[in-house]
């Protein structure tokens, strides 16, 4: 039943917000119970493919990172992925995002990035504050890339980012080492602000290489 509804959306090329057939209409058209249609709509609502709200007909949903967020959280909670796996995924996304951000960023994006770096500096080894600022930094780069999929994946990795950043922070053994990390973030912002995509990517690559080295030292 779920696939029938998905095929209906695809076959009719329905854009987000388009009204979908009611439970009653679908049950009559397909000769199935309303309960089966209701359950299918509910399943699609949980993934964000369909927007369901009490008192109104279901509609085609906007693209969402809900399913990705659940997948990544499950992988983390069940220990099916490692800290290095998370870093590899984040770096693959952020390196390209930084490159794109350097060509598409707005003045507001740069302001937000500098604000995040300042917050990281003030946070120091206060884990919650540092993690919040670092997540904001990377999510801002995702948005500044101008690529909706990168933005969704970046924000969908929030839980994974938090875990990864905590591990990386724990691997920093001195205030000087942490200052180097924050300085690298600042350099990335400078490259993005100066619209230097190659430099932004290179600095992001270096940032993640250093993070991997720190995490490996922690695991020894």
Q: What angle do CA 44, 47, 49 make, to 5 degrees?
A: 60
| Domain total of the chain | 2
Full residue range of the structural domain in which residue 127 is found: 66-219
- Give per-residue pLDDT as tens, 157-172: 877 788 888 888 888 8
Q: 133: which residues sit within 8 A by CB, 6+ positions away?
A: 116, 117, 119, 120, 123
- Indicate which CATH number applies to the domain containing 171: 1.20.120.530
- Give per-residue pLDDT as tens, 14-25: 999 999 988 888
State which of 37, 60, 83 marks the end of a domain: 60
The pLDDT mean for the chain works out to 90
Residues 39 and 76 both lie in one domain: no
Q: Predicted confidence band at 220 (pLDDT cuts at 50, 70, 90)?
A: low
- Give per-residue pLDDT as tens, 44-75: 888 888 988 877 889 998 887 777 888 888 88
Q: Give the predicted TM-score (pTM) of the model.
A: 0.79
Residues 73 and 33 both lie in one domain: no
Cα distances (Å, whole numbers) of residue 169 to 12, 129, 145, 149, 187: 49, 12, 26, 28, 19
Tokens of 9: 């959306």
State which of 60, 78, 96 marks the end of a domain: 60
């Amino acid at each position: 039943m779920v696939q029938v509804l998905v095929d209906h959306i695809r076959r009719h090329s329905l854009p987000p917000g388009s009204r979908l057939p009611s439970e009653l209409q679908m049950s009559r058209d397909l000769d199935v119970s309303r309960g089966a249609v209701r359950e299918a709509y509910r399943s699609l609502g949980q993934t964000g493919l369909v927007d369901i709200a009490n008192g109104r007909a279901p509609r085609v949903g906007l693209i969402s990172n809900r399913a990705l967020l659940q997948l990544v959280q499950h992988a983390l909670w069940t220990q099916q992925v490692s800290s290095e796996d998370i870093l590899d995924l984040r770096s693959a996304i952020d390196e390209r995002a930084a490159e794109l951000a350097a060509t598409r960023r707005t003045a507001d994006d740069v302001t937000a990035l500098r604000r995040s770096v300042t917050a990281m500096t003030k946070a120091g080894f206060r884990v919650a504050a540092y993690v919040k600022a670092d997540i904001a930094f990377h999510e801002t780069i995702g948005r500044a890339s101008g690529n909706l999929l990168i933005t969704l994946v970046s924000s969908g990795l929030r839980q994974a980012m938090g875990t990864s950043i905590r591990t990386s922070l724990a691997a920093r053994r001195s205030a000087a080492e942490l200052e180097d990390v924050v300085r690298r973030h600042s350099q990335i912002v400078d490259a993005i602000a100066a619209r230097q995509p190659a430099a932004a990517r290179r600095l992001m690559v270096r940032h993640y290489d250093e993070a991997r080295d720190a995490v490996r030292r922690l695991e020894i």
